Chains A and B, each alone.
Chain A
């Protein structure tokens, strides 16, 4: 019994490791085919991610939002839902937290900061509630609705900081009046900023601690509470869950709200901790990467933290890689897609490396059951 649990954990760790290894290998082959030097590229990547204290701090900084968007996608996965909307929720979270952060001058920090963070979470919750409720009440598939909401969110976010148009269009409510024609918000007040753990030039803020704490809390909720059990049951078999008396509709809406809130928190933390303002060039790209993080972390909150660390390192090293070796940083996106492909299809990895599946079934994510209810 003990042994089989160990083997199961071993299997759950082995597949992601081999997936990452294979993706890096295949990425190297791609670079080699197109005339780039993969060794130089990976050396630059390593230096940029772990080569110095500065590099480590970049990795940690890049990891922070990925933990939360990864959790957002992972939690939805647990309930059998696919949240492609983390990037929209992230943007709405950023905008809401900025809205609080640039107003209410003179509030003490212990009120202002939590209020700004909560505003971000609330924005994300709302942005998750819409697809959840539409799925439950109209049957609209969350994949399409969340994708469309991503576009709506990015346009909405762009409007809030809009400098106004030539045909008499009014500027957005959060626009920085001192910025002239530039579309951006003013900087948030000091009282709404997350303080540094390690100040300049390392710029590590308390957001990373919040993200790690939230990951622990999510682990506890998912595996140690009735709510978590219900959520996982709905994801495993929603019919059985209904027979067992679980309110599937409520769990669906609630899960999407939690997922949205997590991504919204990511946006709030990124804004209040690092950027200190919002401008249209801040995209919700980390929301999309959350999908890879969630699957690489086997939808387990602890796994998500490890996966976010890895992807954060890839992101952190990308700039240095391009600088040192001249390989376009976009190759990182190719590698991430390959990682996603390999973790999502363990069969490929098992065939390449001839690994036997443990006898007791490891749970796999399956949720493409068509567009209907």
Chain B
């Protein structure tokens, strides 16, 4: 287990170095005249990768928070869609405000609605012992239905988050453009990866959360309120998924479309599994999936291939299937996942 982990991280580091070197070469030297190399390594491809990865990173973090305490969450897709719709409604109803407060209000409402979706999932699966996979499905259908029912197709959200260049760092060639000239929610997502990693593995909250997911009986015995932790983390996770939806509306697209999450919630789940329920692993997987989406985009833009676009668009989904089938045997989910916890002697 440890060995495979170490090998995986070496491969990841090698890949990152390869990409940085290639990015420098392609964007600063005459190598950039090769169309194929530009498709793979241009600044726009790398920028697109990061942008496509942000919702996946946030969704995967949502999954990690829920599943580390023992709640399976396939409803990320629904939570994301609800967050996106909430952000859109909040933004359009405050269009007359100055841009920044209005956008921040959108973020706050996305967090709130995402958290409420998390609460609903927790109530269904803990209080009413609904099968957690079905509860997730309910969230997905509910979010799709409610957002379509309430969607005002004439409403237009005005403005979205712009890029903030970090002074100094953004001057670095290539890297500065890719990493340090981004809109605020992108930075937030990257910071959250670090925060949640530290939270899960170096704080009392994290230890207790993980105990609830691995051995709830033992956690209960030493006085941890298992179900309270599950409620709390599912709500927190829901907020992250809501933020991912907010990102789509307030930072990436600028508008809402029905079903705009387009499977990102499910790909987040795959990223979570692929990343072995670890924040940095999930981020790596999310970047990989984001890169496949960027490739799809660049291939179509560059016009270098006559392969019908439908096949190019399949890449992210096929990569997800391959990743999930190749790695599930080698990663280990939290032991008590998906099981209702009842304190001793309690039953219906």
Contact = CB atoms under 8 A, between A and B. Distances in A.
B273 interface: yes
A226 interface: no
Contact of B266 (A147, A168, A373): A147
Contacts of A141: 273, 324, 328
A159 interface: yes
Contacts of B144: 333, 337
Contact of B149 (A295, A331, A369): A331
Given A337-B145, A344-B138, A373-B329, A169 B308 contact: yes
B314 A337 contact: no
Contacts of A84: 137
Contacts of B339: 369
A127 interface: no
A110 interface: no
Interface in B124-159: 124, 128-135, 137-138, 141-142, 144-146, 148-151
A158 B266 CA distance: 21
Contacts of A332: 145
B320 A340 contact: no
Interface residues of A, number: 59
B133 A367 contact: yes
A259 interface: no
A283 to B, nearest CB: 10
A143 B133 contact: yes
A341 B309 CA distance: 38
Interface of A: 30, 34, 82, 84, 134, 138-141, 143-145, 147-149, 151-152, 155-156, 158-159, 162, 164-165, 167-170, 172, 288, 291-292, 295, 328, 330-338, 340-341, 344-345, 347-348, 357, 365-373
Interface stretch (B8-16, B41-49, B110-118, B330-338): B330-338
Interface string B270-312: 1001000000000000000000000000000001001111110
A370 B338 contact: yes
B195 interface: no
Contacts of A328: 148-149
Nearest to B127: A347
B318 interface: yes
B333 A336 contact: no
A159 B321 contact: no
Contacts of B314: 151-152, 155-156
A365 B310 CA distance: 37
Contacts of B141: 288, 292, 333, 336-337, 340
Contacts of A288: 141
A170 B308 contact: yes
A123 B269 CA distance: 27
- Which are the 4 A-B pairs with shortest beta-carbon distances? A333-B145, A159-B310, A330-B148, A368-B338
Nearest to B147: A330
B65 to A, nearest CB: 16
Q: Which of A147, A149, A155 has the most CB of B within 10 A?
A: A147
B189 interface: no
B321 A148 contact: yes
Contacts of A143: 74, 133
A332 B149 CA distance: 9
B325 interface: yes
Contacts of A170: 306, 308
A143 B74 CA distance: 9
A277 to B, nearest CB: 18
Contacts of A336: 141, 145
A367 to B, nearest CB: 7
A155 B149 contact: no
A365 B266 CA distance: 22
A114 to B, nearest CB: 30
A338 B137 CA distance: 11
A370 B333 contact: yes
A147 B144 CA distance: 16
A226 to B, nearest CB: 28
B303 A167 contact: yes
Given A82-B133, A84-B137, A371-B273, A357 B348 contact: yes
B310 A158 contact: yes
Contact of A372 (B270, B311, B318, B332): B332
Contacts of A148: 263, 266, 270, 317-318, 320-321, 324
Interface string B170-196: 000000000000000000000000000
B313 interface: yes
A77 to B, nearest CB: 10
B81 interface: no
28 contacts: A34-B150, A134-B321, A138-B328, A143-B133, A144-B270, A147-B263, A148-B270, A152-B318, A155-B314, A155-B317, A165-B308, A165-B309, A167-B306, A169-B308, A172-B308, A330-B145, A331-B149, A333-B144, A334-B149, A337-B144, A341-B130, A344-B124, A345-B128, A347-B348, A366-B131, A370-B337, A371-B337, A373-B328
